Amino acid sequence: MQQITTDRIVIVGGGMGALYAALKLAPYPVVMISPETLGEGASSAWAQGGVAAAMDPTDSPESHSTDTLRAGAGTVDPEVAAQVTREAREHILDLTEMGTPFDRDDKGGYVLSREAAHSFARVVRVKGDQAGAEIMKALIARVQETPSVQVLEGVMASGLETSDGRVTGIWVETSGQDRSKPVLLRGAAFLMAGGGSGGLYKLTTNPARIRGQVIGMAARAGAVIADAEFVQFHPTAIDMGEDPAPLATEALRGEGATLINSDGERFMLPIHPDAELAPRDIVARAIYAQTQAGKRPMLDTRAVLGEKVLTQFPSVAEACARAGIDPVHDPIPVAAAAHYHMGGIATDMQGHSSLENLWVCGEASSTGLHGANRLASNGLLEALVYARICAVGIEDAVGEVPAEAPEISLDFQPGGVAPDEAAIDRLRRCMTDNVGVVRDAEGLQRALRIIAELEADNADCPGFLNMTATATLIAAGALMREESRGAHHRSDFPDSTGEHGDRSMLTLAEATALRDRIVKESQQ
């Protein structure tokens, strides 16, 4: 077994939270573990809407916090919401200074768009729908200029080493189909910033690698997982047969695009006063219902944008062109797809997990900001705010900057085990069919039985066990929450238990015990 010990801080991930944290940690030496080339394969780069921040003089962090609390359906931590929204503006200014070309008006002010459940236009954009990609580009350029940051590309984490509840090392291996034997990397501190779980679903907007592995490896090491059942389904993934599904950004509806079905009916009008700009969970369930009824839902940009859709929303236009859809003259077919995991590794307000020496930021975390239903464009904001918070906490824990920390050289040996693609496909279909937009006890129990079977058949593959761990936590959490709240909708428990709900806290041992009981009962 190869072991390497370094004084560098180990960051798992190559997305926005990981990059921003690495920069905020400078001059502390850092090594980033990125499965892909930087800028590829990270959900951050695919984010279209932008970053929510109260930049308009008539807006305020308090209003932003109120909208966050309202959208979160009674489970948002108000202290976290206040903190994140209060810091939002300084991070926009910081990103601007780093070279992010945010859209500006003739007077130099930020162009702001309104998205669902926001009471103000407060989403800061780049080139219409290019925010994630352009912010990532600016951060990558800065990281490449920062001598304290080493990036290991084509390498992925597969497990954590712990001792007495403290993370002491991380197992890493090559990320291609030909996996290497794992190497144990021991560092000064560990930051998980490696994405969410949307790719555990067959219908998703997330990059192919985002399949709950980071949450899963922390859970397998004993970390507490919060709000696992709260998975957000984006209402308007473009229904064109691609995996993952391209996104038709919510900003289109902010510009006035409408949702219609195959009968030409605007089906959101009788459902919610805000119609197309209702909270995402409501719109997603309405679109799902139209799909189930065979009335193909579509996003109609023709009247409000016309040909401007091609220039103002280039990612949408490009996806439509690939599918032979002309959004200038035809509505865009859409479907509800797994998009963002509000749940994740539970953290305190300092970004620290329940395991000593392990911090978490970005979608892999559950800080309490999103509650049961993330407010649009709060995801990138949370990643930025908590990347800085984690950096501060890690600096305090590590102490002085080491005099030197040589770059790491990994000597990978062949012989690792890559996840079986057929097993992954069955897991993803299981999650979409049984743990999706609308859930019930029968489907959730079926999902847990299938996950248990898949796990037993693939017990020699840590990468797959990370996926099944997260899938188990989502399904178990959903089964245990016998109510409907935010993005979690139970057809057998359609009502909420009250205006305010409790956050769920679950360990993998607890979720697995529930799963084992269900499997045992089915065999009797």
Q: Quick check: 52 pLDDT over 80?
A: yes
Locate 453 and state its tokens.
Answer: 């079977």
Q: Which two tokens stand for residue 385?
A: 């705010």
pLDDT score of 94 more than 90 = yes
Strand runs labelled E in 47-127:
51-52, 112-113, 123-124
* Alpha helix positions (H), 335-440: 378-398, 421-434
Q: What is the pLDDT of residue 45?
A: 67
As a whole number, mean pLDDT of residues 150-170 equals 97
Sign of the CA dihedral with 377 first, then 380, 381, and 386 last: positive
Residue whose token pair is 């800061």: 124
Residue 41 clears pLDDT 70, i.e. is over it? no
Q: Tell me the C-alpha distance between 469 and 510, whole Å.
A: 11
Q: Give percent of the chain above pLDDT 70.
A: 98
- Cα 320 versus chain centre, distance: 24
| Per-residue pLDDT at 123 | 93
**CATH of range 421-523; options 3.20.20.540, 3.40.50.300, 1.10.10.1800, 1.20.58.100:** 1.20.58.100
Q: Which of helix, strand or coil describes residue 142?
A: helix
DSSP-assigned states of every residue in 203-269: SBSS-TT-SSHHHHHHHHTT--EESTT-EEEEEEEE-SS-SSPPB--THHHHTT-EEE-TT---TTT
Active site residues: 280
- Sign for the pseudo-dihedral over CA of 335, 435, 251, 205: negative
Average pLDDT over all residues of the chain: 94
- Give CA 521 to chain center in angstroms: 34
Bridge-partner residues for 157, per DSSP? 172
Instruction: Kindly state the average pLDDT of the residues 399-404.
Output: 93
Task: Pull the structure tokens for residue 226.
Answer: 């919060």
Provide the CATH number for the domain formed by 233-337 in this structure: 3.90.700.10
pLDDT digits (tens, 9 = 90+) for 15-36: 999 999 999 999 999 999 999 8
Residue 279 has what pLDDT? 81
- Which helix (H) or strand (E) segment holds residue 319: the answer is helix 314-323
What residues contact 415, with CB distance under 8 A and at least 6 apart? 180, 181
- What's the pLDDT at 455? 98
Backbone φ and ψ for 407, nearest 5 degrees, come out as -65, 150
The rounded distance, in Å, linking the Cα atoms of 248 and 300 is: 11
Give the pLDDT confidence of 324-339 residue by residue, as tens digits: 999 999 999 999 999 9
Q: What is the pLDDT of residue 250?
A: 83
Q: Is the pLDDT of residue 321 over 80?
A: yes
Closest CA to 342 of 375, 366, 306: 366
pLDDT value of position 441? 98
CA distance 65 to 188: 35
Confidence check: pLDDT of 126 > 80: yes
State the Cα–Cα distance between residues 429 and 199, nearest whole angstrom. 11
Q: What pLDDT is stored for residue 115 in this prediction?
A: 82
What Å distances lie between residue 5 and 9, 184, 457, CA to CA? 11, 8, 34
Q: DSSP H helical segments within 194-313, as ranges?
A: 213-220, 251-254, 280-292, 308-312
Name the H helices within 159-270: 213-220, 251-254
With CA atoms as reference, report the closest residue to 390 among 179, 180, 192, 161: 192
CA 175/CA 157 separation, integer angstroms: 9
Residues 474-483: what's their mean pLDDT? 98
Sign of CA dihedral 377, 201, 469, 446: positive
Residue 253 has pLDDT above 90, yes or no: yes
Count CB-CB contacts under 10 A for residue 503: 17
User: Domain map of the chain by residue range?
Assistant: 233-337, 421-523
Mean pLDDT of the 206-225 span: 95
Average pLDDT over residues 461-483: 98
